[in-house]
Amino acid sequence: MSSAPRHRLSRRRTLVHSGLSGIIGGLAVGAIVTLGGVVIPATSAQAAVSSAVTVSVADQDPDKANAPLPDLKVTVSQTKDLQAQGIKVSWTGGKPSTPPSSTSPGGTSGGGDYLQIMQCWGNDPLDASQPDRTTCQYGSFITTGASRFSNIGTGDPVADQDKSYTVPATETSTGLTSIPFKPYPGDDATKTVALVADSKFVPNATDPANNQYFTKLTTNEVSWAGSGPNGDGSVKFEIQTATQAAGLGCGTPVTTANVVSGTPCWLVILPRGETDPGYSYSGTKQSGLDYNVWKHKLAVKLDFQPVGLRCTLGAAIRQLAGSQLIEGAVRSWQPQLCTAPGGATYALIGQPESDAATAANSTDPQPLALTSSALQTDGTDSLTYAPVALTGATIAFALDRTVKSTCPAVSADDLKTYTSQNHLPFTELKLTPRLVAKLLSYSYWESLPNFADKSEVGYKSPSEPGPNARNITWDKEFIEINGPEWGCQAIADPAVADMLEPLGHSDAASAMWKYVMSDKDAVDFLNGVPDPWGMKVNPWSSTNPDINPTHSGLVLPTDSFPKPSPIERAATANDPAINLVTWRPYTNSFDAGGIAVLRGDGQDYGSSDPGPPVKYTKAARNIPGYQKVMGITSTASASKYQLFTAALRNPAGKYVTATTDSLAAAAAAMTPDTKQPQVVGFDPTSVSAKTAEAAYPLTMPVYAAVNPAMKDPAATDPTSIRKDYAAFIRYAVGAGQAPGTALGQLPDGYAPIPDAWETQALAAATTIGGALPTTATPTPSPSASSAAQATTKPLQSSSAGTSSSQVASVAAQPVATPTDPAPTGAAAAPLLGDPTPADPTSGALPAALPASIIAGLGFALAVPFVSRIRRRR
CB atoms < 10 A from the CB of 274, how many? Answer: 14
Kindly indicate the confidence band of residue 830, based on its pLDDT and cuts at 50, 70 and 90.
very low
Average pLDDT over residues 216-229: 94
Question: From CA 844, how far away is CA 595, in angstroms rounded?
Answer: 13
Question: From CA 641, how far away is CA 636, in angstroms rounded?
Answer: 9
Q: Please report, to the nearest 10 degrees, the dihedral formed by the alpha carbons of residues 398, 402, 403, 406 taken in order.
A: -140
Q: In this model, does residue 871 exceed pLDDT 80?
A: no
DSSP notation for 679-708: -EE--TTSHHHHT-TT--TTEEEEEEEE-T
Average pLDDT over residues 223-227: 95
DSSP notation for 474-540: G-HHHHHHH-GGGGGB----GGGTS-B-B-S--HHHHHHHHHHHTSHHHHHHHTTPPPTT-----GG
Beta bridge mates, 369: 321, 705
Average pLDDT over residues 198-214: 72
> Which 8-state DSSP code applies to residue 112?
B
The pLDDT > 90 percentage for the chain reads 67
Region of 528 (left: φ > 0; alpha: ψ -120 to 50; beta: rest) is: left
- H/E run at residue 563: none
Pick from 693, 696, 691, 633: which is nearest to 660 by CA? 696
In contact, 42 and 33? CB cutoff 8 Å = yes
Q: In this model, does residue 10 exceed pLDDT 60?
A: no
In contact, 215 and 155? CB cutoff 8 Å = no
Average pLDDT over residues 316-327: 96
3 state DSSP class of 130: strand
Question: From CA 373, how far away is CA 703, in angstroms rounded?
Answer: 8
Q: What are phi and psi of 130, to 5 degrees?
A: -130, 155
Pick from 59, 63, 136: which is nearest to 93 by CA? 59
The better pLDDT of the pair 51, 309 is held by 51
pLDDT 10s digits, 45-69: 333 468 999 999 999 999 999 999 9
Question: What average pLDDT does the chain have?
Answer: 83
Say which amino acid occupies 589: S
Q: What is the pTM of this model?
A: 0.84
Kindly indicate the confidence band of residue 835, based on its pLDDT and cuts at 50, 70 and 90.
very low
Average pLDDT over residues 185-199: 78
3 state DSSP class of 223: strand
* Alpha helices, DSSP H, located in 801-844: 804-811
Long-range interactions of 710-716: CB distance < 8 A, separation 24+: 710/360, 710/362, 710/363, 710/364, 710/365, 710/366, 711/363, 711/365, 711/772, 712/365
Residue 642: per-residue pLDDT: 96
Q: How far is CA 448 from CA 17, 271, 579, 606, in A?
A: 55, 40, 8, 16
In contact, 171 and 156? CB cutoff 8 Å = yes
Residue 49: per-residue pLDDT: 64
CB atoms < 10 A from the CB of 693, how many? Answer: 13
Pick from 370, 368, 366, 365: which is nearest to 322 by CA? 370
Residue 722: per-residue pLDDT: 96
Residue 310: per-residue pLDDT: 66
Q: In what order do the strands lie in the sheet with 655-656?
A: 430-431, 647-649, 655-656
In contact, 192 and 184? CB cutoff 8 Å = no
Question: From CA 20, how far away is CA 335, in angstroms rounded?
Answer: 13
Say which amino acid occupies 538: N
pLDDT 10s digits, 443-452: 999 999 998 9
> Which 8-state DSSP code applies to residue 737?
G
In contact, 446 and 470? CB cutoff 8 Å = yes
Q: Which of 98-102, 255-259, 596-600 has the highest mean pLDDT?
A: 596-600
Region of 749 (left: φ > 0; alpha: ψ -120 to 50; beta: rest) is: left
DSSP notation for 139-195: -TT--TTSSSEEEE-TT----GGGGGGEES-SSSS-EEEE--B--TT---GGG-B-S
pLDDT 10s digits, 644-690: 999 999 999 999 999 999 999 999 999 999 999 999 999 999 999 99
* Number of helical H runs and strand E runs in the chain: 19, 35
In contact, 111 and 283? CB cutoff 8 Å = yes
In contact, 496 and 622? CB cutoff 8 Å = no
Residue 352: per-residue pLDDT: 97
Residue 857: per-residue pLDDT: 30
Pick from 753, 734, 755: which is nearest to 745 by CA? 734
pLDDT 10s digits, 489-546: 999 999 999 999 999 999 999 999 999 999 999 999 999 999 999 999 999 999 999 9
Question: From CA 228, how far away is CA 213, in angstroms rounded?
Answer: 34
In contact, 49 and 271? CB cutoff 8 Å = no
pLDDT 10s digits, 711-733: 999 999 999 999 999 999 999 99
Q: In this model, does residue 796 exceed pLDDT 50?
A: no
pLDDT 10s digits, 377-410: 999 999 999 999 999 999 999 999 999 999 999 9
Bridge-based pairing state of the strands 345-350 and 317-322: parallel
Q: In this model, does residue 636 exceed pLDDT 90?
A: yes
Region of 255 (left: φ > 0; alpha: ψ -120 to 50; beta: rest) is: beta
Q: Which of 32-46, 84-98, 147-161 has the highest mean pLDDT?
A: 84-98
Collect all residues with Cβ–Cβ distance below 8 Å to 126 and sequence separation of at least 6.
none
Kindly indicate the confidence band of residue 774, based on its pLDDT and cuts at 50, 70 and 90.
low
Residue 813: per-residue pLDDT: 32
